[in-house]
Structure 1
Amino acid sequence: MKFSKTFTLSVVAAAFSVASMTGSAQEDGYLKPAIDSAKQINESAAMSQEKVNAYSEQADSKLQTFKTINKEIDGLRVYNTQLEKQIANQVEEMAALNESIDEVSVIERQITPLMIRMIDGLEQFVQLDVPFLPDERSERIENLRDMMDRADVSASEKFRRVMEAYQVEMDYGRSMEAYSGILDLNGQERDVDFLRVGRTVLAYQTRDASEQGVWNQDTKTWELLDSSYRTQITNGLRMAKKQKAPDLLMLPVKKTN
C-alpha cells in the first residue's frame, strides 16, 4: 500500500505531538518533586538565615555588653587602687592618732596636778592682793576646785577655765571699775561705793559722799581721806559707770622705791 507524503507527514506530526505530550507529562512528574524540594530548601534556608541573623544580633549585643563590663571592671580596678591608697593612709593616721592618744593620756596625768597648783597659786594671789570684789573672786576659785572633782568635764575644758580665771585677774590690772558693797568702818557697817583703778587705787565713798577713804596695801587697812578728794572720787565713780567722759583724776597713790 502506498501513502502519500502528506499523509505520511501528518502521521509523523501527530505521532510526534503525541510523543511530545507524553514526554511533557512525564517531565512534569519528574520535576514536581524536585521543585517542591527546592521550595522547602529555600524556606528552610530563609528560616536558617533568620536564625543566623538573630544569633548575630545576640552576639553583637553580648559583645557590646562584654565591652561595657570590661570598661566597668577597668574603672573598678582604678577605684580599688585609689581606695587601697586611702585605706593605707587612714591606717597610718590611725596609728598616729593612737600614738597621740597615748601621749594625751600622759599629758592629762601630768596636767591635772599642774592645774591644782595653779588654782592654789591663784587663791594665794587673791588673798594677798588688794581686797576688791572679794566674794566674786573667792567664788570663782571655789568653782574651779569643784570643777576639778567632776568626771563629766574634760581635762581640756578644765584647763581652759583655769586659764580664763587667770585672764580675768590679769584684766583687773588694766581696767577701772565701780561697784557697791558693805564696809565695816570703826565697827559700823556702811553702805559705800568702791572705786578701783587697776590695782593701783582702791577707794571708797559713802553714799552721801560725806566720807571717803583708800586702801593701804602695806598696812592692810583703810585710811580715811580728807574732803579734798571727795570730788575726785565722785568723778572717778561716774567715769567708771560710763556717766562721765574719761578725765584726769588726782588720787592718792602709794610711792614705790
Structure 2
Amino acid sequence: MQCRARRFFRPGFVLAVALGLGFTAAAPRAQEDSSGAPETSEATADAQLEDVIEVRTQGNQGAAEIQSEIDGVSDETSDLLARYRTKLKQIEAIDLYNGQMEEMIGSQENELVSLRDQVDRVEEVSRSVTPLMIRMIAALERFVELDVPFLEAERRERIEELHKLMGRADVTTSEKFRQIMAAYQTENEYGRTIEAYRGPLVIDGRETTVDFLRFGRVALVYMALDESEAGTWSQEEGKWIPVSDSFKSSIRDGLRIARKQSAPDLITLPVQAAVVAKGDG
C-alpha cells in the first residue's frame, strides 16, 4: 500500500509567519519612507496571506484528487485479482474434466477394438452357419414330404417362409437360426400330441370336407361329416385306406377327446405297421 506524505499547516502558525514576513518586509520600507506608509504595509501583508491560503487550498484539492485516483486503482486491482482467482479455479476444473474425458475416451477406444473383434468373429460364424441353416431347411422340407400328410398346407407354408427368411438382409443370422429351430420344435411336438381338425380330402377323385384325427405320428384317420365313411392313412402304401364301420365309434370318441369335449379314455384305432421312410438315392 502506497503511503502519501501530507503536509498539515496550522492556521495560527501560517498567520504568524505571514505577519512576521509582512512586518519584516515592511520594516525597510518604513525606514525609507518615514512619512507614515502604514497603510501600504498592511495591504501587502494581506495579499501575502491570501497567497498562502490559496496555495494551501490548491494543495488540499490536489491531494484529494490523487487519493481518489489511488482508491480507484486499488479497487480495479482488487477486481482484477478476484477475476484472476476465479479463472484459476475454472482452469483447474477444466483440467480435471479433461483428465476424466481422456480416461473415458481411452476406455471407449479399447471397447471399440473389442467390439470390432467380436463383429469379425460373428461374420466368420455367420459364413459357416448360413450353409448349415440352408441344409436344415432342406432336410425339414424333405421330412415333411415323406411324413404322414397332416396339416400339409400349414407345414409347407412354414417351410416356404423359412426360404424367404434366408434371403432377407434385415434379419440377423441369430434370428434366422432361432426361427428354423422353432420350426423343428413344432414338428417335434406333432409326434407327442393328438389333434382334431377339419379340412378337404380327395376321395375317389372327388374333394370332400372331413374330420381328421391325428394321434402323434402313429395314426392319422378321417371320418366324413355325415359319418358315412372313414379311413386311415397307410404310410407303407402312401394312400388312404377305408376302415370298417366298427372303427367309426372309436374315431368319433377320439375326435371328442382331441377337442376336449370328453375325458381321456382308451379307444381302438387302425394303426399301420411302422415304415422307415427313404429319400431319393
TM range (shorter): 0.7 to 0.9
Which residue pairs with 1:250 in the alignment? 267
Paired letter, 2:65: M
2:194 to 163, 172, 176: 176
Which residue pairs with 2:76 in the alignment? 58
1:75-96 CA distances to partner (integer Å, 9 max, x unpaired)? 1111111110110011111111
Per the normalisation by structure 2, the TM-score is: 0.73
Query: How big is the shift at 1:152?
Result: 4.5
Give yes or no for the alignment of 1:49 onto 2:67: yes
Paired letter, 2:71: N
Distance change (3 Å), C-alpha of 1:54 and 1:186: same
Query: How big is the shift at 1:25?
Result: 4.6
CA contact (8 A) 2:254 2:267 kept: no
1:135-166 CA distances to partner (integer Å, 9 max, x unpaired)? 22122222322332344444333323322322
Distance change (3 Å), C-alpha of 1:170 and 1:59: farther
Paired letter, 1:137: R
> For structure 1, which segment, 30-39 or 113-122, has the greater mean C-alpha deviation from structure 2 after superposition?
30-39
Paired letter, 2:53: I
2:57 to 22, 27, 39: 39
Partner SS, residue 210 of structure 1: coil
Paired letter, 1:64: A
C-alpha separation in 2, matches of 1:174 and 1:60 = 91
**Unaligned 5+ residue runs, structure 1?**
1-14
Partner SS, residue 123 of structure 1: helix
Give yes or no for the alignment of 1:200 onto 2:218: yes
Paired letter, 1:173: G
> For structure 1, which segment, 190-199 or 224-233, has the greater mean C-alpha deviation from structure 2 after superposition?
224-233
Which residue pairs with 1:12 in the alignment? none
Partner SS, residue 121 of structure 1: helix
Paired letter, 1:68: T
Query: How big is the shift at 1:185?
Result: 3.1
Distance change (3 Å), C-alpha of 1:32 and 1:206: same
Give yes or no for the alignment of 1:156 onto 2:192: no
> For structure 1, which segment, 133-142 or 184-193, has the greater mean C-alpha deviation from structure 2 after superposition?
184-193
Query: How big is the shift at 1:194?
Result: 0.9
- Alignment RMSD: 2.9
C-alpha separation in 2, matches of 1:57 and 1:228 = 118
Paired letter, 1:224: P
C-alpha separation in 2, matches of 1:178 and 1:240 = 6
Partner SS, residue 264 of structure 2: coil
C-alpha separation in 1, matches of 2:66 and 2:216 = 108
Give yes or no for the alignment of 1:136 onto 2:151: no
1:3-49 CA distances to partner (integer Å, 9 max, x unpaired)? xxxxxxxxxxxx9xx99987765443333223222222222222222
C-alpha separation in 2, matches of 1:159 and 1:19 = 135
The correspondence of residues 1-16 of structure 1 with structure 2, limited to 5 A, is: none
C-alpha separation in 2, matches of 1:113 and 1:30 = 123
Query: How big is the shift at 1:246?
Result: 4.2
Query: How big is the shift at 1:206?
Result: 0.7
Give yes or no for the alignment of 1:77 onto 2:98: no
Pairs aligned (count):
239
Distance change (3 Å), C-alpha of 1:155 and 1:45: same
Which residue pairs with 2:23 in the alignment? none
C-alpha separation in 2, matches of 1:240 and 1:19 = 156
C-alpha separation in 1, matches of 2:268 and 2:224 = 17
Query: How big is the shift at 1:175?
Result: 3.6
> For structure 1, which segment, 158-167 or 95-104, has the greater mean C-alpha deviation from structure 2 after superposition?
158-167
Which residue pairs with 2:119 in the alignment? 101
Distance change (3 Å), C-alpha of 1:53 and 1:197: farther
